[in-house]
Amino acid sequence: MTEVVSVKFNDNGRMYYFDPKDLRLSVGDKVVVENQSGIEFATVVAGNHTVEDKKIVSPLKRVLRIANEQDYKRLEANKEKEAEALRVCEKMILSHKLDMKLVSVEYSLDGNKILFFFTSDGRVDFRELVKDLAAHFHTRIELRQIGVRDEAKMLGGIGICGQPYCCKRFLSDFQPVSIKMAKEQGLSLNPTKISGSCGRLMCCLKYEQDAYEYLNSLTPRVGSTVKTDSGLAIVTDANLITGNLLVKPVDGEGIPYKVHRDEVRIISNGKRKPNKDSQTESRKSDS
């Protein structure tokens, strides 16, 4: 077992283990750590605790100190420098006629390294750009290509649900999302309706999938024969969220009526047909 503290570099970023040395740290403490990118500012999200050695990525980097007033001033100064570096790099990209979109700039806390994040549809030969940036800023330069989902996570925005992007608010990692999930959740397969602003399938399809799989296991399919208090009936529509079913008598006599899935017994299951009623609106409002 190894004693560690868990820190994050961004509110919605991943959690990393660091060696606390002789420091006793608590949740919310601001610390200065040493990692592969240099000296960085971080927030403690889990104080001193032990984890299994197999969970540690060696060598375990260490916490240098609890952030002091000078570190806070340097952090604020770096933010101003990052805005200027963004403008300078964008001009250089235009002058070199490179097919790339600059997304964000990050300074290491000690100012010894500047990291530029960009997106592009293909590979970009940015060697000359790096030389010009190094000559201008007189420090180490790194350009890192990211995907469109990472771009959305960095920049943030408002989704079609009216809420800030999930990736910006609380998702620390991206999970694979498939079109099958949209089918099982009864959504329209129109790409414009199930894709996020990044152009990829919405992340909420993934973390809501377990709930829909559970509800699908409880809810009779459309076309199923069920036994109700009024007799045998055929399910003509089903709402997974509310559990309400619309059924019609098997003999064709009488009018369709509403019943809850807990009030019926399945006689035979029909073919699964995703409904497109209030499921869509319910899913969006919960996203």
**CATH code assigned at 265:** 2.30.30.30
End-to-end CA distance of the chain: 39
Give the domain range for residue 203. 162-207
Identify whether 192 is part of a domain: yes
| Residues 38 and 101 grouped into a single domain | no
Helix (H, G, I), strand (E, B) or coil at 59: coil
Long-range contacts of 50-59 (CB under 8 A, 24+ apart): 50/1, 50/2, 50/3, 50/4, 51/1, 51/2, 51/4, 51/17, 52/1, 52/2, 53/1, 53/2, 55/17, 56/2, 56/4, 56/17, 57/17
| Residues 281 and 262 grouped into a single domain | yes
| Residues 76 and 133 grouped into a single domain | yes
Domain count, the chain: 4
Query: Which among 184, 207, 230 is the end of a domain?
Result: 207
Identify whether 196 is part of a domain: yes
Residues 6+ apart with CB under 8 A from 229: 263
Asked if the peptide bond before residue 176 counts as cis, ω within 30 degrees of 0, the response is: no
| Residues 77 and 57 grouped into a single domain | no
Identify whether 157 is part of a domain: no
Identify whether 213 is part of a domain: no
Helix (H, G, I), strand (E, B) or coil at 202: coil
The tens-digit pLDDT sequence of the chain (287 residues) is 889 999 998 877 788 899 998 899 999 999 999 887 788 999 999 999 988 888 888 888 889 999 999 999 999 999 999 999 999 999 999 999 999 999 999 999 988 999 999 999 889 999 999 999 999 999 999 999 999 999 998 888 888 888 889 888 888 778 889 998 998 888 888 888 899 888 899 988 988 899 999 998 899 988 999 999 988 999 999 998 899 999 999 887 778 999 999 999 999 887 655 444 434 434 443 44
| Residues 47 and 78 grouped into a single domain | no
Provide the whole-model pTM.
0.72
Query: Which among 122, 146, 170 is the end of a domain?
Result: 146
Identify whether 156 is part of a domain: no
**CATH code assigned at 92:** 3.30.300
| Residues 60 and 78 grouped into a single domain | no
| Residues 77 and 140 grouped into a single domain | yes
CA 2 to chain centre: 29
Phi and psi at 155, nearest 5°, equal -85, -35
Identify whether 195 is part of a domain: yes
Token code pair at residue 98: 């490179």
Identify whether 212 is part of a domain: no
| Residues 31 and 11 grouped into a single domain | yes
| Residues 168 and 121 grouped into a single domain | no
Question: What angle do the packed helices 69-96 and 127-137 form, to 10 degrees?
Answer: 140
Identify whether 49 is part of a domain: yes
The C-alpha atoms of residue 16 and residue 18 are separated, in whole angstroms, by 7
